[in-house]
Amino acid sequence: MKTNGGAALIKSLELEGVDVIFGLPGGAILPVYDPIIDSPIRHILVRHEQGAGHMAEGYAHATGRPGVAMVTSGPAATNIVTPLADAYMDSIPLVVITGQVGTAGIGTDAFQEVDTVGITRSITKHNELVTNAEDIPRVIREAFHIATTGRPGPVLVDIPKDIVDPTNPRSAMEWYWPDSVDLRGYKPITHGDPELVKAAAELISRAQKPVLYVGGGVLKARGSEALVALAELVDIPVVTTLMARGAIPDDHPLCLGMPGMHGNYTAVTAMQQSDLLISLGARFDDRVTGKLDAFAPDAKIIHVDIDPAELGKVRRPDVGIVGDCRLVIVDLIEALRTLGAPENQPDRSAWKSTISGWQEKYPLQYEQSEAGELLKPQYVLEQLRDNTPSDCIVTSGVGQHQMWTSQYWKFNHPYTWINSGGLGTMGFSVPAAIGAKVGRPDRMVWAVDGDGCFQMTAQELVTAAAERIPVKVAILNNAYLGMVRQWQEMFYEERYSEVYLSPDLPDYKMWAEAMGCVGMRVESPEEVLPAIEKANEIDDRPVVIDFRTDAAEKVFPMVPAGKSNSDIVVGPEDK
């Protein structure tokens, strides 16, 4: 069948099962936007290309399917660089298609030309400039394969205009669809080495003070059920990193919650004092380990990861297993049973009572505000948590509000928590929530955001209003770049440099209304619940609530940067 590159591109996306593209057209990608009119694929027209990328990420987080974004060349490509970097850090499967100037113009500094593959090389799992129309179906097939297998990640395909423009003879091609993908240099290992799995099972069966250190890789591997089965079989407590919240329900008696710089005392200290860390799909990030050479000094390490380069990158494992977390956990359960689990496990009652002692002594806490004072952000989050369905999807930006949400929410289902972990991208929350809602229209989706973050990507609420995507946004508005303020207060002698934003410039309620949303403002505790209830009832447009919160409130516990996790500061009084 005769076709052209543009039609072949859209047809290839259809065959990959794409149901939605987040994008914004422009000169170089114009020819590809024409066949979209006749395609069953839904296109969501964003207001800024960064929004398209984060929406695709939110969609991928919420559904497990690759998110797809399509933008034009030049400034559109550079605008989507941040989401690519974000997806690369957090291992999110994305396929991003960028337009490029025609092949004859490449290298001539043509209008809207940038070296997109050069710019994005170090922040994509793979990228490719396609120079012949007949390569398009194969490259798209490979892009989805690479993005979704092994350690997931973003793949960028850069498409020059002439090979997709039906009026250009260079776009002419014979349609085909490759039966399979054959990449000689890409063969992810999914099954763990049985000898190493056995060695891991033996280490577990001897450990007195083990902790399961669970990262985002368990969620990427759809391994939550297997994880719970493993934890219950050997009765070992679990910490869930920022990227893994919800991998085991927060209500589960073995779940200790989040470790790290703003983790709770028990999760941080259990890791620190453990004699065996069973790391599943985690990467010993500096925000988790604190000062590296003081991290969990007595722990042996079992490290399971699908990316061989993670093993030994930061901390040398005693047993390092390359493989898909779910498959390795299943094998590990089998190996433990063979060794006699659960009966063969040592008596760990002392360890467990030590842990429950910490939980009693050091719960998360904050002081409720007095009447007439500004809201406590934690109180707003507790109210939101307790008055939304348990499978509500929550997104966040980056900063204090992100840490409070991760701390105070109860994530009792996997894939209900979507945030920017590795890159720490302010402005992630609103577009990610929109993408999540598109992927899971059956779920309630709340974007928790800070006032600083909200101002970076709020324009996408116009997209949400226009496309009838009813996300809800809770701005914890403390009129500051709060996390930076917190560091300046604690480590820069309260010298506040360029962190004040103003509570009412912009007027968030009016801004929301101007963007086609319902806008509300909440200033006192008794208004919190009615506002949340009102927002929950609105299902035909986005809602934004401007919660006026106390700027003096800080995120605790905290392990100061560069300090050992043993130096955790529990609260404002603990100096």
Partner 1 sequence: MKTSTSNTVHHIVSALVENKPGVLARVAGLFARRGFNIYSLAVAPTNDDEFSRITIVVDAESAPLEQIVRQLDKLINVIEIEVLDNMAVERELMLVTVRVSAESRSETLAATADYNGVVLDEGGDLITVSLGGTSAALDAFTERMGDSVVAYQRTGRVALPRI
Nearer Cβ to partner 1, position 134 or 307? 307
* Interface pick for partner 1 out of 14, 134, 275, 307 (rule CB under 8 A): 307
- Rama region for 516: left / alpha / beta (φ>0; ψ in -120 to 50; rest): left
Q: Which 107-146 residues touch partner 1, going by CB under 8 A?
A: 117-118, 121-122, 125-126, 129, 146
CA distance 30 to 99: 8
Binding test (CB under 8 A) with partner 1, winner from 312, 340, 357, 441: 312
> Is residue 283 at the binding interface for partner 1, with CB under 8 A as the rule?
no
Question: Angle at which helices 265-273 and 349-361 pack, to 10 degrees?
Answer: 150
Query: In the set 64, 308, 424, 572, which binds partner 1 (CB under 8 A)?
Result: 308
CB closer to partner 1 out of 305 and 460: 305
Set 111, 208, 225, 534: catalytic member: 111
Amino acid 566 reads S
Counting residues that bind partner 1 (by CB under 8 A) gives 18
Q: How does strand 238-240 pair with strand 255-257?
A: parallel
Using an 8 Å Cβ cutoff, are 460 and 404 in contact? no
Rounded CA separation 22/47 (Å): 10
Smallest gap from residue 184 Cβ to partner 1 (A):
5
* Phi-psi domain of 312 (left: phi exceeds 0; alpha: psi -120 through 50; beta: other): left
What is the nearest approach in angstroms of partner 1 to the Cβ of residue 127?
A: 9
Strand order in the sheet with 472-477: 417-418, 393-396, 445-450, 472-477, 543-548, 518-522
CB burial of 304-319 (b: ≥16 within 10 Å; e: otherwise) equals bbbbeebbeeebebeb
Q: Which of 14, 112, 359, 459 is catalytic?
A: 112
Q: How far is the CB of 521 from partner 1 (least distance, A)?
A: 45
161 among known catalytic residues: yes
Provide the minimum distance between the beta carbon of 81 and partner 1 in the complex, in angstroms, as a whole number: 15
Q: Rounded to the nearest whole angstrom, what is the least distance from the CB of residue 150 to partner 1 in the complex?
A: 9
Q: Which is nearer to partner 1, 316 or 468 (CB)?
A: 316
| Span near partner 1 by CB under 8 A; candidates 36-44, 183-191, 207-215, 347-355 | 183-191
483 belongs to the catalytic site = yes
Provide, rounded to whole angstroms, the least separation between the CB of residue 219 and partner 1. 21
Among 104, 183, 229, 350, binds partner 1 (CB under 8 A): 183
From 11, 55, 125, 161, active-site residue: 161
Instruction: Tell me which of 89, 258, 456, 483 is the catalytic residue.
Output: 483
Q: Choose, by CB under 8 A, the member of 27, 30, 112, 186 that binds partner 1.
A: 186
For 87, counting Cβ atoms within 10 Å of its Cβ (0-12 exposed, 13-18 middle, 19+ buried), the class is: buried
Distance in Å, CB of 97 to partner 1, minimum: 18
Query: Based on CB atoms, which residue is closest to partner 1, 47 or 126?
Result: 126
CA distances from residue 186 to 35, 136, 149, 492 in whole angstroms, order as listed: 32, 19, 10, 48
Which residue lies nearer to partner 1 by CB, 140 or 392? Answer: 140
State phi, psi for 425 to the nearest 5 degrees. Answer: -90, 105
**Angle between helical axes of 377-386 and 525-537 (0-180°, round to 10):** 40
For the chain, the 3-state helix, strand and coil shares in percent, each to the nearest 5, are 40, 15, 40
Of 11, 16, 49, 553, which is the active-site residue? 49
111 is catalytic: yes
Cβ proximity to partner 1: between 34 and 128 the closer is 128
- Residue ranges in contact with partner 1 by CB under 8 A: 117-118, 121-122, 125-126, 129, 146, 183-186, 307-309, 311-313
- Which of the residues are catalytic? 49, 111-112, 161, 483
